[in-house]
Amino acid sequence: MDKDKKVSLKDIANHLGVSTALVSYALNNKDKEARVGAEMAEKIRKAAAELNYQPNIIAQSLKRGTTNTIGLIVADISNPFFSSIARIIEDEARKYGYIVIFGSSDESEAQSKLLIDVLVSRRVDAFIIAPSEHTEKQIKGLLKRKVPVVLIDRYFPNIETDFVQTNNFQVAYEAVEHLIKNGRDRIGMMAYDTGLLHMQDRINGYKEALKDNGIKFKSAWLRKVSYPHLVRDVQSGIKSLVDPELKVNGFFFATNTLAVESLKIINHSGIRVPDDLALISFDESIAFDFFYSPLTYIRQSIEELATEAVRLAIARIGDKERKPEFVVVDAKLIVRSSSRKGKK
Amino acid sequence: MDKDKKVSLKDIANHLGVSTALVSYALNNKDKEARVGAEMAEKIRKAAAELNYQPNIIAQSLKRGTTNTIGLIVADISNPFFSSIARIIEDEARKYGYIVIFGSSDESEAQSKLLIDVLVSRRVDAFIIAPSEHTEKQIKGLLKRKVPVVLIDRYFPNIETDFVQTNNFQVAYEAVEHLIKNGRDRIGMMAYDTGLLHMQDRINGYKEALKDNGIKFKSAWLRKVSYPHLVRDVQSGIKSLVDPELKVNGFFFATNTLAVESLKIINHSGIRVPDDLALISFDESIAFDFFYSPLTYIRQSIEELATEAVRLAIARIGDKERKPEFVVVDAKLIVRSSSRKGKK
DNA sequence: GTCAGGTGCTTAAACGATAAAGCTATCAGT
DNA sequence: ACTGATAGCTTTATCGTTTAAGCACCTGAC
């Protein structure tokens, strides 16, 4: 037998002396609708198994107009937060018979557009996107073309599509309140300098917690970092912490990347955690476990974010007219030593 | 204009009153070979641009028999080592017009087979695989069917295909010799319990370094950890380090996962690094920077591993008969405090 | 004036599958 | 015996490309 050549419907049809249509019907279990004889159906299925028939998915895709493929766009697949999400999306999608094509946008609008174009031309059935700033138009363009889009991690207020996100505001509020309850009254925050709402929500949660606890927010407490200049901006941000004018005694990082980069500097700064400065970070990092004062952090349920995203994607592929669903996943504050009561 | 519907060759052809064949020739820049008139070619290209024509890649794939897709199989995409590789492969592949479909094998033979089958049925043009144990037959099966396969990170001795790997033996040797030069004479190692040769190479490098420096290897020094029971095995492995019988004063981790898991335990064990025990790990981890005595480690050139893998894959797609190429990438020992001279 | 050869296009088959529509026995009902 | 329905298959068109082959027409050489 020729193991090299792929066997097609036609091969099976010729082998049995029937038409390809009949073979197609039988193998798609359309016995009833297409009125395939019981014994013939059996013969065909047996032959297909014997010849080790594997349908040509490309041909199926062309005919059916669907590819059973999900396009995943994140900021950076090498970031553990996103690669963990990717891992679960991959497993989850496969359960439904879908595969995943991915791309990293690097938080760049142009790169995002390029990726979307590539994936559209690959005819993905749905997108799961952690959108970068200023990509609303790209997303809207997809929706106008009736391409299913599920937003994950980040969202846009006036885009009517499914999304999954963490309860950023509430858990940020909770984290900052935790700092206050542990005796901190001058609390700073570091965030990315972006209009993306998940980030704004975290900032607003921080501000609201201050306000509700009678602490007047000072704008110098909030350090914004630009994504492309992470290292530079973090450096200057942390340096300002030791400014005697500022005297913050608690600090909240909006993401793990910001925290990790900052901790490197704090490690050599003479700042004592948590005595001088209590710390909390959003997200996880293995680095948090090894910092001399293990970090209190906010654990997002990556598992739930990812499985929900896939569920929404599949649901929308199945019914493009269904009402958009907004899923909010609870995150959890994991308290450890970096946020313990200070000496003061 | 109808923005929803995709425009096809036929639409352009109708629009200009010519045949689809002519349009195809023109858009594929086959003016010369297919004898397309200069002005007509211009007209066609202009119309294509105006109508915003995007070729249907599915149809092209069906006709051409190629999908411009690379299948990537690694142990676990959520492992930073592999996600970093994935990131570079993604970028690199796109430069050549390829996209990447990925899957995680979890070091499981069965899972690997499943993934390979899925990707084969998707007609990927080439595989880049970090193979799991006992998957030689699967790889050989692919090669028999003339599917290009590039092995990365791991390899099999009697499989004739392209591969890229780190100089595991040499750099492991170098690492262990470094420990010896820093006064360590009882050196242990932790490795995965696998027959995979990259792991054996690291172990052999370790043993050879001992031997060449007149240290007699003791089998109790070598701790093997099974991948599915990582935590359990690491725990018992590290506990045995404090065994007064053993008294190792230097230790070498074969991967970052082993090191990170071990460091968690060492952190609470009373062992003092590097005074009691000098440490070196293969691979990187952000955790290494934050361990109280920053770890000396072996930095693999992920960049080079990944770009070479893509280069080999593309080269083989272009010429299936070319001689397999074996690329060895130099890794580098990054010396930090965890391997400094002991007190003794 | 004829013919070889080139130019500029069209026709048609093919990739591999799907599915609507069509054809031919057979069978039940009257 | 005639009609209509039904079971069991085949024919054919189609998805959107690619590409070999074919067909006019024109030019230049002899």
What type of residue sits at position B171? V
Helix (H) or strand (E) holding B308: helix B302-318
Backbone φ and ψ of B212, nearest 5°: -60, -20
Q: Which residues of A touch B90 (CB under 8 A)?
A: 77, 102-104
Q: What is the pLDDT of residue B189?
A: 97
Q: Which nt has its C1' nearest the CA of B13?
A: C10
Q: How many CA atoms are closer than 13 Å to the CA of B46, on its beta-carbon side?
A: 7
- The residues pairing with A334 across neighbouring beta strands, listed in sequence order, are A297
Q: What is the pLDDT of residue A343?
A: 55
**How would you classify the pairing of strands B162-166 and B126-129?**
unpaired
Residue A104 token pair: 């990293």
Q: pLDDT tens for residues B110-134?
A: 999 999 999 999 999 999 999 999 9
- Write down the mean pLDDT value for chain B: 94
With an 8 Å Cβ cutoff, is A263 touching chain B?
yes
Burial string for B282-311 (b: 16+ CB within 10 Å, else e) reads bbbbbbbbbbebbbbbbebebebbbbbbbb
Do A68 and B118 form a contact (C-beta atoms < 8 A)? no
> How far is CA B222 from its chain centroid?
26
Do A259 and A317 form a contact (C-beta atoms < 8 A)? no
Average pLDDT rounded to a whole number, residues B176-183? 96
What are the distances in angstroms from CA A65 to CA A59, A62, A68, B4, B102?
A: 10, 5, 10, 14, 23
Residue nearest to nucleotide D14 (CA to C1'): A63
Residues 143-182 of B with CB under 8 A from A: 144-146
Q: What is the pLDDT of residue B113?
A: 97
- Write down the mean pLDDT value for chain A: 94
How far is it, in rounded angstroms, from Cα B251 to Cα B176?
A: 8
Residues above pLDDT 90, as percent of chain A = 91
Residue A79 has pLDDT above 70, yes or no: yes
Backbone φ and ψ of A227, nearest 5°: -55, -45
Residue B101 token pair: 């479909």
What are the distances in angstroms from CA A1 to CA A5, A13, A51, A52, A153?
A: 10, 17, 9, 11, 51
Residue A32 has pLDDT above 90, yes or no: no
How far is it, in rounded angstroms, from Cα A157 to Cα B99?
A: 31
Q: What is the DSSP string of B148-192?
A: -EEEES---TT--SEEEEE-HHHHHHHHHHHHHHTT--SEEEEEE
Q: pLDDT tens for residues A92-133?
A: 999 999 999 999 999 999 999 999 999 999 999 999 999 999
Residue A38 has pLDDT above 80, yes or no: yes
Q: pLDDT tens for residues B322-334?
A: 999 999 999 999 9
How far is it, in rounded angstroms, from Cα A42 to Cα A188?
A: 71
Backbone torsion region of residue B33, taken as left when φ is above 0, otherwise alpha when ψ lies between -120 and 50, otherwise beta: alpha
pLDDT band for position B4 (cuts 50, 70, 90): low
Nearest to A87 among B76, B285, B287 (CB): B76
Residues 68-87 of B with CB under 8 A from A: 76-80, 83-84, 86-87
pLDDT band for position B295 (cuts 50, 70, 90): very high
Do A74 and A42 form a contact (C-beta atoms < 8 A)? no
Q: Is the CB of B25 under 7 A from strand D?
A: yes
In sequence order, what are the residues at sequence separation of 6 or more whose Cβ sits closer than 8 angstroms to the Cβ of residue B264?
A289
Mutate to test the interface with A, among B56, B83, B84, B104 (most CBs of A within 10 A): B83
Residue B254 has pLDDT above 60, yes or no: yes
What are the distances in angstroms from CA B194 to CA B105, B131, B219?
A: 15, 12, 16
Chain D footprint positions (protein CB, under 7 Å): 7-12, 14-21
pLDDT band for position A342 (cuts 50, 70, 90): low
Residue A137 token pair: 């138009």
Q: Which residues of A touch B230 (CB under 8 A)?
A: none
In sequence order, what are the residues at sequence separation of 6 or more whose Cβ sits closer than 8 angstroms to the Cβ of residue A319?
none
Q: pTM of the predicted model, to two decimals?
A: 0.93
Do A167 and A233 form a contact (C-beta atoms < 8 A)? no
Do B278 and B340 form a contact (C-beta atoms < 8 A)? yes
Burial (CB count <10 Å: 0-12, 13-18, 19+), residue B343: exposed
Q: What is the pLDDT of residue B225?
A: 97
Do B66 and B58 form a contact (C-beta atoms < 8 A)? no
Burial string for A283-307 (b: 16+ CB within 10 Å, else e) reads bbbbbbbbbebbbbbbebebebbbb
Q: Which of B265, B191, B77, B241 is nearest to A290 (CA)?
A: B265
Only one residue has tokens 């200023």, namely A134
In sequence order, what are the residues at sequence separation of 6 or more whose Cβ sits closer than 8 angstroms to the Cβ of residue B170?
B205
Q: Which of B336, B333, B337, B81 is nearest to B209 (CA)?
A: B333
Helix/strand/coil for A189: strand
Q: What is the pLDDT of residue B341?
A: 81
What type of residue sits at position A299? R
Q: What is the pLDDT of residue B344?
A: 47
Q: What is the CA radius of gyration of chain A?
A: 26
Average pLDDT rounded to a whole number, residues B75-91? 96
Q: pLDDT tens for residues B192-246?
A: 999 999 999 999 999 999 999 999 999 999 999 999 999 999 999 998 887 777 8
Q: pLDDT tens for residues A156-206?
A: 999 999 999 999 999 999 999 999 999 999 999 999 999 999 999 999 999
Helix/strand/coil for A4: coil
Q: What is the pLDDT of residue B342?
A: 62
Residues 102-141 of B with CB under 8 A from A: 102-104, 118-123
Q: pLDDT tens for residues A132-149?
A: 999 999 999 999 999 999
Do B59 and A62 form a contact (C-beta atoms < 8 A)? yes
Helix (H) or strand (E) holding A73: strand A69-74
Residues 292-321 of A with CB under 8 A from B: 292
With an 8 Å Cβ cutoff, is B52 touching chain A?
no
**How would you classify the pairing of strands B187-192 and A250-253?**
unpaired
Q: What is the pLDDT of residue B1?
A: 40
What are the distances in angstroms from CA A15 to CA A2, A38, A42, A55, B139?
A: 14, 18, 14, 16, 30
Cis peptide before B148 (omega within 30 of 0): no
Residue A224 token pair: 């914004």
How far is it, in rounded angstroms, from Cα B124 to Cα A238?
A: 48
Q: Which of A99, A51, A182, A313 is nearest to B103 (CA)?
A: A99
In sequence order, what are the residues at sequence separation of 6 or more whose Cβ sits closer than 8 angstroms to the Cβ of residue B151?
B129, B130, B131, B139, B159, B161, B162, B163, B164, B165
Helix (H) or strand (E) holding B73: strand B69-74
What type of residue sits at position A330? D
Q: How many CA atoms are closer than 13 Å to the CA of B5, on its beta-carbon side?
A: 8
Q: What is the DSSP code (8-state) at residue A221?
A: G
What type of residue sits at position B15? H
Backbone torsion region of residue A134, taken as left when φ is above 0, otherwise alpha when ψ lies between -120 and 50, otherwise beta: left
CA/C1' separation A143–D26 (Å)? 53
Q: What is the pLDDT of residue B3?
A: 44
